[in-house]
Amino acid sequence: MMYRSFVDLVFIILCALAVLLDQSIAVRGLRADPADVGSGGTEAIALEDMEVLVVGDEAFGLGGEEYPDAGSAVAAAGPDKPIVVVPESDSVSHHRVVEVWWDIRRTGRHVELGVRASGEGEGS
């Protein structure tokens, strides 16, 4: 009989401990607002409203001119027009394109990443 009361006492103490710990240690997650796929992350823009900066392996192109670095190409761009950064070909590293995008963004200019729409120009 004594063993049963001891087990009951241990059970009650464990339940009380669980209740106390539940109230004293708050485990909370971080607030997050993940983006929904297809929620309007892309938009069409007209050529008259932007400057297209073509990123190559060795040089940069803007308005039919070739520039040795992104800074000189951006300086030649219109000050009010947004710049859309696109790779010259599939061989240009994604890291290079994003690095150029980030460098232009840090200058305060409006800059976007441009991509070819799915299904357009396949194989060219």
Asked whether residue 14 is assigned to any structural domain, the reply reads no
Ranked by mean pLDDT, the top range of 27-36, 64-73, 113-122 is 64-73
How far the first Cα of the chain sits from its last, in Å, is 87
Tokens for 60? 């940069």
Report the number of distinct structural domains present in the chain.
1
Asked whether residue 68 is assigned to any structural domain, the reply reads yes
pTM listed for this prediction? 0.57
Query: 86: number of CA atoms within 13 Å, CB side?
Result: 16
Asked whether residue 53 is assigned to any structural domain, the reply reads yes
| Contact of 105 with 82, CB cutoff 8 Å | no
Residues with Cβ within 8 Å of residue 67, at least 6 apart in sequence: 59, 60, 61, 73, 76
Predicted pLDDT at 32: 47
Asked whether residue 4 is assigned to any structural domain, the reply reads no
- DSSP codes of every residue in 89-109: STTS-HHHHHHHHHHHHHTT-
Nearest-5° Cα angle at 86, 47 to 43: 55
Domain that holds residue 61: 47-113
Mean pLDDT of 13-41: 64
Asked whether residue 34 is assigned to any structural domain, the reply reads no
Asked whether residue 99 is assigned to any structural domain, the reply reads yes
Q: Among 4-8, 19-23, 72-76, 117-121, which is the least confidently predicted range? A: 117-121
